[in-house]
Amino acid sequence: MPGATTSPASGLSNLFAPYLETVCHRTAEALTACGYRALVVHSGSLLPVFEDDRTYPFEVNAPFKVWTPLAEPDCFVYFQPGQRPILVFSQPRDYWYKPPAPPEDYWTEYFDIRTCPDRESARALLPPDLGGTAYLGEPFAELGSWGVMAHNPARLIRHLDFGRAVKSPYELTCLREASRLGARGHMAAQRAFAAGESEFAIELAFLAACGLREQELPYNPIIALNEGGSVLHYQVLEKRAPAARHSLLIDAGAEFGGYASDITRTYSAGDGDFSALIARMDTLQQALCTGIRAGADWREVHLRAHRLTAEVLQEAQIVTCSADEALDAGVTRVFLPHGIGHLLGLEVHDAGGLMRSPEGGDIPRPEGHPHLRLTRVLTEGFVVTMEPGIYFIDPLLEAARADQRASLINWSRVASLRKFGGIRIEDDLAVTATGCENLTREAFRSEQPGN
């Protein structure tokens, strides 16, 4: 299970204790503000495949991962302010599948752990009276008889999600380890690409280097050769290598302790012009990273990314106009249609990115940028991704060719670059008072031979 073993980084137990204390304090404040006495959080259940006796791979619920890195189905955390959290651990009596062993890890000493064979018996291990208790998780058949006060109350969820954006030293340690595993996988993927492997074989190389199964990753890897790089969430994984290799765009992360890394790199198979464009985008990405610190408005970071992208498009002769004209006419959105980044943590696109406050209200996205997932002012402890890109996406190019933007685009240049699909370079950044820690670049450095 993801997060089951301790990291090479020392002191996780000592870091977990103050982290859990913060979670308890934050949860107690949210419960009081929303009128609840206690909280039950469900890890989630195995979901059956339609008309089959199999289940889909299990995904643990993020609100449960707030409390523990355990990733087993039908477990529950019960929290009442002032009391030790209870973990009800599901250990089915089964001979079709091997039941999980009771958890013994750096975090287990901080819970009252109670074991049960199924959900029905789990109820008996919780307090008899759950009136005044909020429940977070999917409903299940037995829940109606549990006597909880509310199911997934939106106001409480908002309070809890808003505070998740600021990461503790424990969480940052897990995120660093996830980045290290992800960097190790990326380096193996690059070697597989250089050896001429298929998309599928490149993914296998990534998984082997990370030491994780695909279901243990925070998201399915995006491994796109050639034109596939123009599909933002490309999912095909061709098993045959293409006749001609031009480029690789790989967006893939690892997970540790429930926390994700989210890393993207783009490589050229040897074309010098495209290699130079990748290098220019890397320079752009690093320039954006230098502007990240507590107090930065992410909306302004996003708009600056479009300003810098306009300059690259002009320098690379992809547009026929000035950078100012490309920006004003919306041409940059043809080549960079997604947001510049998002919160990262227990979920890849972590919760709370648009929230104005825990009490309510969202911060609007800039006009014309509907896909931005983060609009908050950065606070020390936030972890964000930084992922500028330039893509050659047929539907967006066709729409631009049909309107006033057509005269601003160098169509012959676009035609020569379409075979590469696109470029994305993505790092994970931990925000500090005066700048940021680049978790991704440091992870790549740490994985170099001799380090």
Q: What is residue 451's predicted lDDT score, i.e. its pLDDT?
A: 72
Domain 169-446 has CATH 3.40.50.1820: no
Contacts 24+ apart (CB under 8 A), 184-192: 184/209, 184/210, 184/254, 184/447, 185/209, 185/210, 185/252, 185/254, 186/250, 186/252, 186/263, 186/265, 186/444, 187/444, 187/447, 189/223, 189/248, 189/250, 189/252, 190/248, 190/250, 190/265, 190/267
pLDDT in tens, the chain (451 residues): 333 344 444 579 899 999 999 999 999 999 999 999 999 999 999 999 999 999 999 999 999 999 999 999 999 999 999 999 999 999 999 898 899 999 999 999 999 999 999 999 999 999 999 999 999 999 999 999 999 999 999 999 999 999 999 999 999 999 999 999 999 999 999 999 999 999 999 999 999 999 999 999 999 999 999 999 999 999 999 999 999 999 999 999 999 999 999 999 999 999 999 999 999 999 999 999 999 999 999 999 999 999 999 999 999 999 999 999 999 999 999 999 999 999 999 999 999 999 999 999 999 999 999 999 999 999 999 999 999 999 999 999 999 999 999 999 999 999 999 999 999 999 999 999 999 999 999 999 999 887 7
pLDDT value of residue 216 = 96
Structure-token match 């909880």, residue found: 148
pLDDT given for residue 10 in this prediction = 56
Domain ranges of the chain: 12-163, 169-446
Q: What is the pLDDT of residue 9?
A: 44
Out of 3.40.350.10, 3.30.70.940, 3.40.1180.10, 3.40.50.720, select the CATH number for domain 12-163. Answer: 3.40.350.10
> Would 12-163 and 169-446 be classified into the same CATH topology?
no
Buried b (16+ CB within 10 A) or exposed e, 152-169: ebebbbbbbbbbbbbbbe
Indicate the pTM of the whole model. 0.96
